[in-house]
Amino acid sequence: MIVTHLNLTDFRNYAHLDVELRRGANLFVGSNGQGKTNLVEALGYLSTLGSHRVSVDHAMIRQGQDAAIVRARLSHDDREILAEVQINRSGANRAQVNRSAIKTRELPRYFSSVLFAPEDLALVRGEPSGRRRFLDELLILRTPRMSAVVADYERVLRQRNTLLKTARNARGDLSTLEIWDDRLVALGSEIIIARSWLVDELSPEVTSAYSAIAGADHAARLSSQLSIFSSTTDDDVPDAAATRAGPLELPAVVEGFRSALARLRRAELDRGVTLAGPHRDDLVLELNDLPARGYASHGESWSFALALKLASAAVLRREASAGDPVLILDDVFAELDESRRGRLAAAVADFEQVLITAAVFDDVPDELASHVIRIRAGAVVDDE
């Protein structure tokens, strides 16, 4: 699938924008602060219903306006789709496909993209919550119904935590706790299983992508850190017993989850929070058998984060009926030396469409600069 046309209204610094895109590489060039990243953020939002830069939607609406509109014409084989979302400052967002209203959460099934940005360095160096979000966003892109499973789990988790806090503060009634336990285990086990199978698929792709970018003398590996099998409630303490590689089966996960809740009941009542479940798990990243977090250099961390995104794109393209996901590389090449730039260009060359942003034209290899779009102050300007 490719994007053939992007239209923005009151999105970030764009009052109005129309830009045509082509198959293959499309390079957005402009000085910092002109709006290059805003363009790819808009397409990322259309695909994931989230921004890689902010946690609240209204930050993407142009100052003084009540709503922003992102509209894209998508093409695959002989089929064309017009997908659009209206982001409202107040009230629910709205979405349409071919001018017919749909539920906003259904948009990702029509458009798939994988975006890499400087913020993704936090996947390697940041907190577990970012890595959990990375896995869940990819799960939802592959299987849109997982969006409802994740949302339901978060709702049940909030309800259970409220009950635990009430019991801690006022010695409240715990007769309904088992009901919430059942729902937590059912939904949480489904998420844990889905993540484990996803990590198993990602792992060889990450190894391959990292070698393609950085060279063959490095070994990148993934595994899962599961709180339901942990012997500690301290997230910062490594626990080999909680580390799992390879896909898991449902009976073992359900049994482990129930055992963990029983084992942690007193600690949960004391602290008023749920101490085991997918909301406390982590994706373990290792480079040459050492934890990437804390051991990898800046360049190695950058390459690992990029490998995670390239692996995501590889997993999505294997099973997508609508063709490759659109690959978006936001301000990537400035951080890479010349050899890694060339390797990255070779690694993405066979994707149907790649969108690239750069502040300096010469940072981008020639093979990715065949279609250049120059951006200045929220507008497309003539090529110079």
Residue 360's pLDDT band (cuts 50, 70, 90):
very high
Give the pLDDT of residue 379: 87
Residues contacting 135, CB < 8 A, separation 6+: 195, 198, 199, 283
Q: Are 212 and 346 in contact (CB under 8 A)?
A: yes
Query: Whole-angstrom Cα distance, residue 109 to residue 48?
Result: 9
Q: Where are the alpha helices (DSSP H) in the chain?
A: 36-48, 122-125, 128-142, 146-170, 177-214, 250-263, 265-271, 292-295, 298-319, 338-348
- Per residue in 283-340, pLDDT (tens digit) is 999 998 888 988 888 888 999 999 999 999 999 988 776 678 999 999 998 888 888 8
CATH number at residue 106: 3.40.50.300
Query: Whole-angstrom Cα distance, residue 52 to residue 36?
Result: 14
Say whether both 361 and 273 belong to one domain.
no
Number of helices followed by number of strands (H, E) in the chain: 10, 16
Residue 167's pLDDT band (cuts 50, 70, 90):
confident
Choosing from 255, 275, 293, the residue where a domain stops is 293
Q: What percent of the chain has pLDDT over 90?
A: 66
In the chain, the number of structural domains is: 2
Query: Whole-angstrom Cα distance, residue 86 to residue 74?
Result: 17
Say whether both 78 and 161 belong to one domain.
no
- Integer distance in angstroms from the first to the last C-alpha of the chain? 30
Say whether both 13 and 55 belong to one domain.
yes
Residue 311 falls within a domain, yes or no? no
Say whether both 212 and 249 belong to one domain.
yes
Residue 299 falls within a domain, yes or no? no
Structural domain that includes position 247: 128-293
Residue 207, both tokens: 């190894």
Cα→Cα distances 336→120, 343, 364, 377, Å: 15, 10, 10, 26
- Per residue in 49-78, pLDDT (tens digit) is 889 889 899 999 999 999 999 999 999 888
Residue 144 falls within a domain, yes or no? yes
Give the pLDDT of residue 170: 60
Give the pLDDT of residue 171: 60
Say whether both 41 and 81 belong to one domain.
yes
Q: Which phi and psi (to 5°) does residue 364 adopt?
A: -100, 130
Say whether both 132 and 279 belong to one domain.
yes
Higher pLDDT: 184 or 248? It is 184
pTM (2 d.p.): 0.88
Residue 276 falls within a domain, yes or no? yes
CATH number at residue 188: 1.20.1050.90
Q: Are 287 and 177 in contact (CB under 8 A)?
A: no
Residue 179 falls within a domain, yes or no? yes
Say whether both 277 and 362 belong to one domain.
no
Residue 171 falls within a domain, yes or no? yes
Query: Whole-angstrom Cα distance, residue 238 to residue 234?
Result: 9
Say whether both 170 and 210 belong to one domain.
yes
Could you tell me the strand order of the sheet in which 14-20 lies? Answer: 14-20, 2-11, 67-76, 79-88, 94-97, 100-102
- Give me the torsion for CA of 300, 305, 309, 310, rounded to 10°: 0
Give the pLDDT of residue 241: 63
pLDDT at 254 over 80: yes
Residue 164, both tokens: 């635990």
Nearest of 153, 192, 173, 163 to residue 268 by alpha carbon: 163
Say whether both 54 and 172 belong to one domain.
no
Q: Are 39 and 357 in contact (CB under 8 A)?
A: yes
Residue 245's pLDDT band (cuts 50, 70, 90):
confident
Say whether both 283 and 135 belong to one domain.
yes
Query: Whole-angstrom Cα distance, residue 324 to residue 256?
Result: 37
pLDDT at 7 over 90: yes
Residue 205 falls within a domain, yes or no? yes
Q: Are 355 and 42 in contact (CB under 8 A)?
A: no
Cα→Cα distances 102→90, 121, 141, 194, 360, Å: 19, 34, 17, 26, 40
Residue 256 falls within a domain, yes or no? yes
* DSSP per-residue letters across 291-332: EHHHHS-HHHHHHHHHHHHHHHHHHHHHH-TT-PPEEEEES-
Say whether both 157 and 217 belong to one domain.
yes
Query: Exposed e or buried b for every residue in 219-258, given b needs 16+ CB within 10 A?
Result: ebbbbbbbbbbbeebeeeeeeeebebeeebeeeebbebbb
Say whether both 233 and 335 belong to one domain.
no
